[in-house]
Amino acid sequence: MRTFNAEMSKSYRVYIGRKILRTTATHLKKLGFSSRAVIITNKTVNKLYGSILEENLNKNGFEILLIEVPDTERSKSMGTALRIYDELISHRIEREAPVIAFGGGVVGDLAGYVSATFLRGLPLIHLPTTLLAQVDSCIGGKTAVNYLNFKNIVGVFKNPEIVLIDPDLLQTLPEREIKNGVAEIIKYGVIGDPSLFSLLEKRMDDIFESDPLFLEEIIYRCCKIKIDIVEKDERETGLRRILNYGHTIGHAIETASNFAISHGEAVAIGMCAAGRIAEKLGIFNDVERQERLIKIAGFSINLSNFDVEDLIRIMHFDKKVKNSKINFVLPRRIGDVVIRDNIPKKILLETIKGLR
Q: Residues with catalytic annotation?
A: 120, 142, 184, 226, 236, 240, 244, 247, 251, 263
User: How are beta strands 328-333 and 336-340 bridged, if at all?
Assistant: antiparallel
Contact 181, 223 (CB under 8 A): no
What letter represents residue 235's amino acid? R
Q: Name which of 196, 351, 193, 342 is nearest 274 in CA terms.
A: 351
Q: What is the DSSP letter of 66?
A: E
- Output b/e per residue, 94-126; b: 16+ Cβ within 10 A: eeebbbbbbbbbbbbbbbbbbbbbbeeebbbbb
Q: How far apart are CA 176 and CA 166, in angstroms?
A: 19
Which amino acid belongs to residue 200? Answer: L
DSSP notation for 82-151: HHHHHHHHHTT--TTSPEEEESSHHHHHHHHHHHHHGGG---EEE---SHHIIIIITSS-EEEEEETTEE
Instruction: Tell me the three state secondary structure of residue 325.
Output: strand
Q: Are 310 and 253 a contacting pair, CB within 8 Å? A: no
Amino acid identity of residue 251, one-letter, is: H
**Nearest to 13, CA basis, from 38, 26, 31, 37:** 31
